[in-house]
Amino acid sequence: MKIGFIGLGIMGKPMAKNLLKAGYELSVYDLNQSAVDEVVASGAKALASAKDVAAASDVIITMLPNSPHVKQAVLGEGGVAEGARPGSILVDMSSISPIVSREVSAELAKKQVVMLDAPVSGGEPKAIDGTLAIMVGGPEEAFAKVEAMLKVMGGSVTLVGEIGSGNITKLANQIMVASNIAGMSEALVLATKANVDPEKVFRAIRGGLAGSTVLDAKAPLVLAGNFKPGFRIDLHIKDLQNVLDTAKSVGTPTPISEAAIGMMKSLSSEGKGSDDHGGLIQWYEKLANIEVRS
């Protein structure tokens, strides 16, 4: 199986390297030449456009920032759609709007190219380890063809439903992560303001019902004042904007996402958009005029 990989950023680079390590033949393309050079040094072949990568591949993977980038790389001039052969499969692993996944899939279907939307959760460390959680939408037959390849990059690979379901699942994930971080922030600022040691609060509650993967990952960083990303606030704003757009299109209420995106946008406008999303606590700290540190 020949694989094309487009988008060699924080996530795409280690994912591509894991495919090379597993023995897959890879051709790659990115606007950023130094990212391309690094993956070529690990054994990939560089091609001049997304179109050329698609023409050389049975399966084309895209790992790009957001919906406009995917539309450009797939449907734009010199894009995947111009080069892809009938019967090939596009696996878009970017976190984008599910509405756009469906639009792009419909365009590709005109060329007999099948699309799966397969966003991931886990961040750079799990991309490096090959243990991402991968949530997939699209036809079962195409999923069966790429499942083993996805398992090289993922610790769990789950087919959720039809095209767009992967990104709907990712939005569900991002709502829960944002609300967990906001809840943790509200709680730790309250405890600190009430003169209770936030580190002891964390230790006391992490084994109970309020314990979570998010709490265990983010509370120690907050207590250390470490907001180095991780997952940037600006990327979480992008995902929550996709939540709001999708919720509007299907008609569901999203008060928690609206509150969280407001806090994140306010931090971003203060120049903190590249902080880790655990840095959301700074919104509470500023209003309460206190810092939560152990």
The set of catalytic residues is 170
32 contacts ligand NAD (rule: CB under 6 A): yes
35 touches ligand NAD by CB under 6 A: yes
* Closer by beta carbon to ligand NAD, 72 or else 212: 72
Query: Closest residue (Cβ) to ligand NAD?
Result: 9
Residue 30 near ligand NAD by CB under 6 A: yes
Distances (CA, A) of 151 to 7, 18, 120, 128: 19, 10, 12, 13
132-151 residues near ligand NAD, rule: CB under 6 A:
none
Q: Is 63 in the site for ligand NAD (CB under 6 A)?
A: yes
Residue 11 contacts ligand NAD per CB under 6 A: yes
What's the distance, CA 28 to chain centroid? 20
Of positions 123, 161, 183, 220, contacts ligand NAD by CB under 6 A: 123
- Residue 207 CB, shortest distance to ligand NAD, in Å, is 27
Only segment of 68-76, 84-92, 242-250, 262-270 that touches ligand NAD (CB under 6 A)? 68-76
156 is a site residue for ligand NAD (CB under 6 A): no
Judged by beta carbon, residue 73 or residue 90, the one nearer ligand NAD is 73
| Least Å from the CB of residue 190 to ligand NAD | 29
Binding status of residue 10 toward ligand NAD by CB under 6 A: yes
Total of chain residues touching ligand NAD, rule CB under 6 A: 28
**DSSP class per residue in the chain:** -EEEEE--STTHHHHHHHHHHTT-EEEEE-S-HHHHHHHHHTT-EE-SSHHHHHHT-SEEEE--SSHHHHHHHHHSTT-HHHHPPTT-EEEE-S---HHHHHHHHHHHHTTT-EEEE--EESHHHHHHHT-EEEEEES-HHHHHHHHHHHHHHEEEEEEEESTTHHHHHHHHHHHHHHHHHHHHHHHHHHHHHTT--HHHHHHHHTTSTT--HHHHHHHHHHHTT----SSBHHHHHHHHHHHHHHHHHHT---HHHHHHHHHHHHHIIIIITTSBGGGGHHHHHHHHT-----
The yes or no reply on residue 8 touching ligand NAD (CB under 6 A) is yes
The contact mask relative to ligand NAD for 172-211 (x = CB under 6 A, - = no) is: ----------------------------------------
Binding site for ligand NAD (CB under 6 A): 6-12, 29-32, 35, 50, 63-66, 69, 72-73, 94-95, 120-121, 123-124, 231, 235
